Amino acid sequence: MKRLVILGSTGSIGQQALDIVRSHPSEFKVVGLSCHSNVKLLKEQMNEFKPEMISVYDKEKAEMVSAESGMAGLKRIASLDGADTVLNSLVGSIGVEPTVEAIKAGKEIALANKETLVSAGSIVMDLARKHKVEIKPIDSEHSAIFQCAQTGDKIRKIMITCSGGPFMEKTIDEMKNLKAADALKHPNWSMGKKITIDSATLMNKGFEVIEAHMLFGLSYDDIKVVVHPQSIIHSLVEFEDSSVLAQLGWPDMKIPIQYALSHPKRMETAMKPLDLVKVGKLTFDEPDLERFPCLGYAYEAGRIGGSMPCVMNAANEVAVKAFLDGTIGFSDIPRLIKEQMQKHQPVMRPELDELLDLDRKIKKDTAKVIG
The domain segmentation of the chain, as residue ranges, is: 2-137, 142-362
Residue-wise pLDDT tens digits, 226-240: 999 999 999 999 999
Amino acid at 252: D
pTM given for the model: 0.94
pLDDT of residue 184: 77
CB 213 within 8 A of CB 137: no
CATH code reported for the domain at 142-362:
1.10.1740.10
Name every residue whose Cβ is closer than 8 Å to that of residue 241 and which is 6 or more positions away in sequence.
none
**Per residue in 262-279, pLDDT tens?**
999 999 988 889 999 999
Alpha-carbon gap, residue 338 to 366, rounded angstroms: 11
Q: Identify the CA nearest to 145 among candidates 157, 133, 127, 130.
A: 157
Closest of 253, 34, 33, 36 to residue 137, by C-alpha: 253
pLDDT digits (tens, 9 = 90+) for 14-27: 999 999 999 999 99
8 A C-beta contact, residue 180 and residue 201: no
Q: Are the beta carbons of 88 and 102 closer than 8 angstroms? A: yes
CA dist., res. 360 & res. 290, Å (int): 29
pLDDT band at 178; cut points 50, 70, 90: confident
Helix axis angle for 70-78 and 96-104, nearest 10°, is 30
Look at residue 164 in the predicted model and tell me its pLDDT: 87
Residue 55 near residue 69 (C-beta atoms within 8 A): yes
Q: Phi-psi category of 202—alpha, beta or left, where left has phi over 0 and alpha has psi -120 to 50? A: left
Instruction: Confirm if 287 and 227 have CB atoms less than 8 A apart.
Output: yes
Q: Given this model, what pLDDT does residue 168 score?
A: 81
Long-range contact set of residues 222-226: C-beta below 8 Å, sequence gap at least 24? 222/156, 222/157, 222/158, 223/157, 223/158, 223/160, 224/157, 224/158, 224/159, 224/160, 225/159, 225/160, 225/161, 225/162, 225/287, 225/295, 226/159, 226/160, 226/161, 226/162, 226/284, 226/285, 226/286, 226/287
Q: What pLDDT score was predicted for residue 129?
A: 98
Confidence (pLDDT) at 261: 97
Question: Strands 85-88, 135-137: parallel, antiparallel or unpaired by DSSP?
Answer: unpaired
Q: CATH class for domain 2-137? A: alpha beta
Residue 188 pLDDT grade (very low, low, confident, very high; cuts 50, 70, 90): low
Looking at 41-50, 57-66, 263-272, which range is the least confident one?
263-272
Comparing C-alpha atoms, which of 1, 337, 16, 370 is closest to residue 192? 16
CB within 8 A of 268, min separation 6: which ones?
none
- On the question of pLDDT at 189 being above 60, the answer is no
Q: Which pLDDT does position 166 carry in this prediction? A: 81
Instruction: Please say if the pLDDT value at position 304 is more than 80.
Output: yes
pLDDT value, residue 186 = 61
- Whether pLDDT at 40 is above 80: yes
Beta strands per DSSP E along 296-345: none
- pLDDT the model gives residue 183: 74
Which residues have C-beta within 8 Å of that of residue 128, sequence separation ≥ 6?
103, 109, 134, 135
What pLDDT score does 125 carry?
98
pLDDT digits (tens, 9 = 90+) for 274-297: 999 999 999 999 999 999 999 999
Q: From the CB of residue 156, how many other CB atoms can be counted at a distance below 10 Å? A: 15
> Could you count the other beta carbons within 10 Å of the beta carbon of residue 171?
9
Name the β-bridge partners of 124.
none
Q: Which residue has the higher pLDDT, 177 or 17?
A: 17
